[in-house]
Amino acid sequence: METAINMERESYAATIEENQKAVRKMVLDSYQDMLDGKGRDYKVFFSELESRYKNADV
């Protein structure tokens, strides 16, 4: 039984590591896009977002 638990832990740890690698890659890709001048100005983005919900019924 202990072997099964250890295998499950290793599988779980490997899954977490793969997810972390994917997140790191997305962050670095986004950073590179920012350096390349892609994307939107955050002020414009949040202004548009705010205007959508300013008069919304909550």
pLDDT of residue 36: 93
pTM for the predicted model, two decimal places: 0.57
**Nearest alpha carbon to residue 31 among 50, 23, 18, 47:** 23
pLDDT of residue 4: 76
**Structure token digits, residue 22:** 């994917």
Question: Helix H segments across 1-58?
Answer: 2-35, 42-53
* Mean pLDDT across 31-55: 88
Q: Supply the mean pLDDT for the chain.
A: 88
The conformation of residue 38, written as its DSSP 8-state character, comes to: -
